[in-house]
């Protein structure tokens, strides 16, 4: 059902009132984790002012170490709702477990499935049953075919509102956190009608590489990017080294202008 053979034209998925896919380049931005009201609102204000059309933020965090910050949970979702009220922009947040789905649909405009859960079939079915837009991230070691089949689970459960996301894969290369597979964007565009976003933050793990890879994402034909930003990255509770400062986010939007405006 997610194949081009079934539907030739590009799907457009609406997050709140924001269309993703079709003829526009979408920028979703915000912190890796929701940390506090002040942190969430201040960064949201900046990214909204600079032209982001939706806000990201993690309340439930899939951290590699159990001793690292795990997120504020439902309290974090309340702070994200405040950011939505303040900016008028829809919000995207990761759901980690099936048991969180019913609660989360009351807060968020789009449910993110993280890379580590791409093949959690119970969770895919559960978000499929909600009908809410789903941002499905590619697994760390998943093939493109496996990503598309994961999307098929969501579709088959009754939810066609799926946005795919290339966020980098595991390779032998250690210079960057992951290897951002921009081939995947071009391949998916051939194979599927679903919108595709690129996550250059997790794709590189290095703040200085986020702008160049965002340009590359636009050039290869992605429908947009989802990018991490923090006004004080050295104090961030997660992924500070890949967060764009407010100034860098403004620079990013400046450089993406031809794509955002051409759309």
Cβ-based neighbours of 165, under 8 Å, separated by 6 or more: 135, 136, 137, 138, 196, 197, 198, 199, 226
Handedness of CA 193, 197, 202, 204 (dihedral sign): positive
Q: How far is CA 144 from the centre of its chain?
A: 17
Total residues in contact with Mn ion, by rule CB under 5 A: 2
Told to check if 48 binds Mn ion by CB under 5 A, we report no
- From 2-10, 20-28, 108-116, 206-214, span contacting ligand PEP (CB under 6 A): 108-116
Told to check if 62 binds ligand PEP by CB under 6 A, we report yes
Of 202, 205, 223, 227, which lies in the binding site for ligand PEP, with binding defined by CB under 6 A? Answer: 202
- Pick what 191 binds: ligand PEP, Mn ion, none; C-beta below 5 to 8 Å, kind-dependent: none
Burial 47-67 (b: 16+ CB within 10 A, else e): bbebbbbbbbbbbbbeeeeee
* Pairing label, strands 162-166, 134-137: parallel
Told to check if 32 binds Mn ion by CB under 5 A, we report yes
Told to check if 132 binds ligand PEP by CB under 6 A, we report no
Query: Residue number with the shortest CB distance to ligand PEP?
Result: 114
- From 21-29, 65-73, 109-117, 150-158, span contacting ligand PEP (CB under 6 A): 109-117
- On whether the CB atoms of residues 92 and 52 are closer than 8 A, the answer is no
Q: How many angstroms separate the CA atoms of 20 and 36, rounded?
A: 28
Least distance from C-beta 177 to ligand PEP, angstroms? 9
Told to check if 32 binds ligand PEP by CB under 6 A, we report yes
Told to check if 167 binds ligand PEP by CB under 6 A, we report yes
């Amino acid at each position: 059902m997610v194949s081009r053979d079934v539907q030739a034209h590009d799907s457009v998925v609406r997050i709140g009132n924001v269309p993703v896919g079709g003829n526009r380049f979408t920028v979703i931005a915000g912190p890796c984790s929701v940390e506090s009201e002040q942190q969430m609102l201040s960064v949201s204000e900046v990214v909204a002012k600079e032209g982001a059309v939706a806000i990201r933020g993690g309340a439930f965090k899939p951290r590699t170490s159990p001793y690292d910050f795990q997120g504020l949970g439902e309290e974090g979702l309340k702070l994200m709702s405040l950011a939505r009220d303040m900016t008028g922009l829809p919000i995207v947040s990761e759901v980690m477990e099936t048991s969180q789905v019913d609660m989360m649909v009351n807060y968020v405009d789009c449910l993110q499935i993280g890379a580590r859960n791409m093949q959690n079939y119970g969770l895919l079915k559960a978000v499929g049953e909600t009908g809410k837009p789903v941002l499905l991230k590619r697994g760390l070691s998943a093939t493109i075919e496996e990503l598309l089949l994961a999307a098929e689970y969501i579709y088959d459960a009754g939810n066609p509102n799926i946005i795919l996301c290339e966020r980098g894969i595991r390779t032998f290369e250690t210079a960057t956190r992951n290897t951002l597979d921009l081939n995947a964007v071009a391949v998916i565009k051939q194979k599927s009608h679903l919108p595709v976003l690129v996550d250059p933050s997790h794709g590189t793990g290095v703040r200085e590489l986020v702008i160049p890879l965002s340009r590359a994402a636009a050039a290869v034909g992605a429908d947009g990017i989802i990018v991490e930003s923090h006004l004080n990255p050295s104090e961030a509770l997660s992924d500070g080294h890949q967060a764009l400062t407010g100034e860098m986010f403004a620079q990013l939007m400046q450089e993406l202008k031809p794509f955002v405006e051409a759309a």
